Amino acid sequence: MLGNQSSATEFCLLGFPGSPKLRHILFATFFFFYIVTVMGNIVIIVIVCFDKRLQSPMYFFLSHLSVLEIMTISTAVPLMLWGLLLPGMQRISLTACVAQLYLYLSFGTTEFVLMAAMAVDRYVAICNPLRYSIIMNSCTCIWVVSVSWVFGFLFQIWPVYATFQLSYCKLNVVDHFFCDRGQLLKLSCDDTLFTEFILFLMAVFIIIGSLIPTSISYTYIISTILKIPSASGRRKAFSTCASHFTYVVIGCGSCMFLYVKPKQTQAAEYNRVASLLVLVVTPFLNPFIFTLRNEKFMEAFQDGMKRCHRLIKD
């Protein structure tokens, strides 16, 4: 352990306290969540790439969202699972800790930008259907996705840099299952009030900033849907954006619970539960949210399964 020193070369992750039996139960649960999340998103990516019926902007954005979900959950959950199998604390180098926090925050920021882009895409599809193919052409989609990725990775450079510029003169035990920023700030002997305030403003900018175009888009979408005379037409129009709206509510709700608070150094149990919502539960639900109520995707999935079955039989 480090004590009375100005810097740390490694950290010890405390992980989940409890008996070995409880840790094994948690391992089995989180391993199941991880495997289902990764496999579900891989299925989405493969079907979107190979089925011509899904060659549209909505599914193009969805495939990138699936890539982000796989990467986000893979930044922390494999290490968490390994820690559940090992007794005691798990050591992680400073470099690995920096990389883990940076990738986790960058992927999350990219998701929020992409989420807003998907809302605008649904707005154009429902409110301006005749101009949809012109506005949301392939160049526009590639540009939007590229900007989302670049912005996400550039935006998080300073927050991660500021976090690890602090002096860590307390014990280097992180009371979490990954390098959580709030728990890292707790280990510093510096006055982190200003840093925490700037991080709070940046979190508000990302989350609220993505919610503004999303809210405006859905205001126009709902207004347009209500003007459709037939009930079947309203149902069909709403079904095209219901999954995205559900994703927005779950994703933004869990992230606001974790990051949009002036004091970043919350209690460890609070951060641990909130992080599980963001890192494990939300990515686990998303493949089901985007596929089970999507008739076009389910048709493509069933046809793909039939083709695989015929190949196996032959």
Q: Whole-number mean pLDDT of the chain?
A: 84
* Domains within the chain, CATH numbers bracketed: 10-313 (1.20.1070.10)
pLDDT tens readout for residues 175-226: 888 898 888 888 888 888 888 888 888 888 988 888 899 889 988 988 888 8
pLDDT tens readout for residues 132-170: 989 999 999 999 999 999 999 999 999 999 988 888 776
* pLDDT value, residue 216: 92
Distance CA 65, CA 113 (A): 10
Distance CA 33, CA 280 (A): 7
Classify 19 in phi/psi space as left (phi over 0), alpha (psi -120 to 50) or beta. Answer: beta
* pLDDT value, residue 3: 41
> Do residues 1 and 174 make contact, with C-beta atoms less than 8 angstroms apart?
no
* pLDDT value, residue 305: 80
* pLDDT value, residue 96: 92
Chain centroid to CA 239: how far?
A: 23
Q: Take residue 52 and report the two structure tokens written for it.
A: 């011509």
Most confident of 38-47, 272-281, 287-296: 38-47
* pLDDT value, residue 244: 76
For 116, the 3-state DSSP assignment is helix
> Do residues 10 and 181 make contact, with C-beta atoms less than 8 angstroms apart?
no
* pLDDT value, residue 98: 93
pLDDT tens readout for residues 231-290: 777 777 777 777 777 778 777 776 766 665 555 555 567 677 778 888 888 888 888 888
Please provide residue 6's backbone torsions phi and psi, each rounded to the nearest 5 degrees.
-90, -10
Q: Which candidate, 250, 282, 274, places its Cα nearest to that of 178?
A: 274
- Pairing state between β 10-13 and 90-93: antiparallel
* Burial of residue 266, with CB atoms counted within 10 A of its CB: 0-12 exposed, 13-18 middle, 19 or more buried: middle
Confidence of residue 304 (pLDDT cuts 50, 70, 90): confident
Least confident of 59-73, 75-89, 131-145: 75-89
pLDDT at 5 over 50: no
Q: Take residue 302 and report the two structure tokens written for it.
A: 């069933």
Q: Take residue 256 and report the two structure tokens written for it.
A: 């606001």
SS (H, E, C) 214-234: HHHHHHHHHHHHHCCCCHHHH
